[in-house]
Amino acid sequence: MNYSNINTPISFFFFLLLSFSFISNGNAQDEARFSGSLATNANFFIRDTLIGASNTPQYDHQLFGGEAWLELNYSYKGFDVGARFDMFNNSNLINPQGSYSDQGIGRWFIHKKVHDLGITVGYIYDQIGSGIIYRAYEERPLALDNALLGAQLTYDLGENWKVKGFAGKQKNRFEVYQSVIKGFSVDGFHSFGEEGNVTIAPGAGVVGRTLDDNSMNLVVSELRTYPKDEIFVPVYNTYAFSVFNNLSAGRFNWYVEGAYKSEDIFRNQNGDRFLEDDGTVIYSSLSYAHKGLGITLEAKRTENFEFRTRPQEELNRGIVNFLPAMTRVNTFRLLARYNSATQFLGEVGYQADVRYKFTKKLSANVNYARITDLNDTPLYQELFTEITYKKPREWQLIAGVQLQDYNQEVYEFKPGVPLVSTLTPYAEFLYKLSRKKALRFEFQYMNVNASDLGGELVKHDYGDWAFGLVEFTMAPHWTFTLSDMYNVGPGKLSPTDSSGEKASIHFPRLDVFYTYKSNRFSLSYVKQVEGVVCSGGICRLEPAFSGVRMSVTSTF
Amino acid sequence: MKNLLTLLLPIFLFFACDEIPPNVGMGTTGPEPEPNEVVQKVLIEEFTGVRCVNCPAGSEAIEQLISIHGDRLFAVSIHAGQFSFPYNESKYDFKVEDGVSLLSFLGEPQGFPTAVVSRRVFDGKTDMQLSKSEWAGFIDQELAKEATVKIDLAGEINDGRVLSATATVDFLSPPSNADPKITLIITESNIKDYQETPEGKMADYKHKHVLRDVITPFDGESISFTSGESSVKEFTYNIPDEWNTAELLLIAVIHNSGTDKEILQVEALDF
């Protein structure tokens, strides 16, 4: 086992842990609290060349891959310390085409509040405003963990205002990026009126990133190969400023944030050239809620707001900030197949969501979203409708239709493929067999548009899909799910079988879940088509998966 | 509120500071070397194919890098992988067994064009294959290194088309690798044949630095190290009739073996 990745501060952490266990004196207020969580995935790979689940080390000879995260936290007399052990064994989470193995302390931190001053050192997760200029967070399914290894100080100015300053380097798996990141923010709160039903929560922040020498040298080397008119003078320091406010007045809530980033080096849309420019983001969200009606309107305009630790990083690596997603999160399988990944270089997006509860039994939801690039090229459009009818304690029916336009060329880096348009009716029926037993059915059918390809009408992407699911729940412990995603009308990108015809492939899935208190176990047999997995607009191209998946999550 | 402003003021003043930018001058890296100084040279091994539409851009990038670095940078274009199968109308098949072995040996790429610089896995990368935009930076980084090996390469091709070459290798410091090796590569440039380009299939595309053969085993031949002494290796090779001897380049590569395949020094000889 390779111990070289465990940082020396871990010995300091254990020293603290041991010293606290000795000085704990049993006083209820000073009682030490020990908590933690465990999350682990184990994948057994079964080769399936037809769906493309092959040709990676895991499918060829490793046959097993897994990840685990074990978090331990200790609180005592205002001190919080924690450490997290991360382990990757032949994992395809970080690079879907490769195999990654490493283990060590993925995170440690020490936090203490001294009167109004808060001190944190170690790996820090935090954000400024909605994250537009700075967000350090973790998203395990995307293999994203951009915690800041450094120090953070917060200071409470009175009851309603808080200032925060931080500096450090961003985590890069078990190492750090060499560029230095520092920031400062101020957040406040104020209420007006006698009843205090109008409140504002303003704030402002600034983040600076200083490029390290090695990364700058690589930029300079590349610039020297550019034509003279494309060479620019690269900058080491980039500053991003943002100002934001949340206004709450009676039934209305209005959030607005504007951000500006000074000149920064980033890749062009093709990814083959560096550009240098400043950037802006303006984002706003307005919502209204009264009795059974809820309306939310959102708009965002982004220009040149790619903010990374170094310009050479690609995809989801080395990102310093987070731009809010402009589309709804769909939970049904076929409805969630196509997602709009946040475009950092240029995007204009709108979203409107209306919910209305007609009676206690009947409610409806309509959502419309539209995203284009700065040249008005359509990237994504969605019209989502949903009606829910409940017969309390007996059954519940959810049904609706979703229409989508999806620019696969931009989102999935597939040059030349046409726009995908879908029409997907869906329904979910939940039937309570008894107080503890329930049965749930899901059905979706996705119609995809077609275009003329050499005299033949060929459906775009994978073509039409049908999805069916049956789930049996035995509360409080067991859930059994059986589902199938069937490529009923294969399209341009569907694989061809041995006879040269487009294959209509089934992608079945069988899951067993067991929940006991705060522990959850799952065992699944999965055949999954290649697609995109997104969380908050940050996406990852997920290759086809064929095999058995086991996962355990536990909190203690 | 007043306290808040006093707190924020120095922050805003800070941003008035200017930075002195780096020098993006044109020309070769660094000062001219001393007369007897051993200069570090770099090998870039590009993987390409006649059916690869984006590969001409890669070859063009390599030509530009050679024009910047002169005789400190040598290139090999290895036709291997899914795009290297010749067309029906192609005159030649540039695929050679040693090239296919090298592709597997150095690692399958994610896409084309792709190249390996000094057979190194650079910081922040998971494998050796690099995309076009990364080549310039890593080549500069390698050229800035201090040379640890000196290669003297001499040779000639006689009238009977027999190539005889002698490589004299001096390790300026004892090699850290247990089994350093020498690989001898022959390339031929300016071969006109079909190539897919963004403007369509070109019949008389000039293929440069095409890997013709690896004289040693594709993964090298062991070279002994004795402190204070040069290692001398002699080679002979029969040049096939179809090759144009004026466009041939013989490249000698000294490299590590085992999991670390890093190239220590390169030298080339033309005829």
Number of separate domains in chain A: 1
> What is the value of pTM for the model shown?
0.84
In this prediction, residue A20 carries a pLDDT of 46
Per-residue pLDDT, A24: 42
Interchain CB contact of A541 with B (< 8 Å): no
CA-based end-to-end distance of chain B: 80
Q: Report the SS3 class of residue B4.
A: helix
Distance CA A509, CA A528 (A): 8
Cross-chain Cβ contact A224/B26 below 8 Å = yes
Rg of chain A, C-alpha, whole Å: 26
User: A298 in a domain, yes or no?
Assistant: no
Please write down the HEC assignment for all residues of B210-232: EEEEECCCCCCEECCCCCCCCEE
- The count of CB pairs under 8 A between chains A and B is 74
> H or E segment at A321?
none
Q: How many helices (H) and strands (E) does chain B have?
A: 4, 14
DSSP for B253-266, written as a single string: EEE--SS---EEEE
User: Between chains, do B22 and A216 touch, taking CB under 8 Å as contact?
Assistant: yes
Percent of chain A with pLDDT over 90: 73
Question: For residue A11, what pLDDT is reported?
Answer: 55
Please state the rounded mean pLDDT for residues A445-455. 87
Per-residue pLDDT, averaged over A310-325, amounts to 92
Structural domain span for residue A143: 115-279
* pLDDT score of A248: 95
- Does B24 contact A234 at a Cβ distance shorter than 8 Å? yes
Nearest Cα neighbor of B74 from B237, B183, B162, B173 is B183
DSSP string, A54-113: -SSHIIIII-EEEEEEEEEEEEETTEEEEEEEEEEEEE-SSSTTS-EEEEEEEEEEEEEE
**pLDDT tens readout for residues A246-278:** 999 989 999 999 999 999 999 998 888 899 999
Mutate to test the interface with B, among A116, A225, A260, A315 (most CBs of B within 10 A): A225
Distance CA A264, CA A239 (A): 9
Q: Say if A155 falls within a structural domain.
A: yes
| A256 domain residue, yes or no | yes
> In the CATH scheme, what architecture does the domain B39-270 have?
Sandwich (2.60)
ipTM: 0.74
Q: Are A210 and A310 in contact (CB under 8 A)?
A: no
Query: Is A127 domain-assigned?
Result: yes
Task: Report which residue type is found at A481.
Answer: T
B137 touches chain A (CB under 8 A): yes
With contact defined as beta carbons under 8 Å apart, do A512 and A548 qualify? no
pLDDT at A497: 81
Contact between B94 and B84 (Cβ < 8 Å)? yes
Place A14 in a pLDDT band, splitting at 50, 70 and 90.
low
At residue A23, the pLDDT reads 42
The rounded percent of chain A whose pLDDT value lies above 70 is 94
The mean pLDDT of A453-467, rounded to a whole number, is 87
Contacts of A97 in chain B (CB under 8 A): 110
pLDDT for B10: 55
Q: What is the pLDDT of residue A5?
A: 44
| Dihedral-angle region of residue A425 (phi above 0 means left; psi in -120 to 50 means alpha; beta otherwise) | beta
For B67, nearest residue in chain A (alpha carbons): A225
Does residue A554 fall inside a structural domain?
no
B19–A contact, CB cutoff 8 A: yes
Q: Once rounded to an integer, what is the mean pLDDT over residues A113-137?
A: 96
Q: Does the CB of A174 have a partner CB in chain B at under 8 Å?
A: no
From chain B, the residues in CB contact with A312 under 8 A are 124, 134, 137
Tokens of A304: 């040149």
Question: Residue B64 carries which DSSP code?
Answer: H
Q: For residue A123, name the pLDDT band (cuts at 50, 70, 90).
A: very high
DSSP for residue A344? S
Give tens-digit pLDDT for B55-81.
999 999 999 999 989 999 999 999 998
Which residues in chain B come in under a pLDDT of 70? Answer: 1-17, 25-33
Give the count of alpha carbons within 13 A of A255, CB side only: 12
Yes or no: say if A348 and A301 are a contact pair by the CB < 8 Å rule: yes
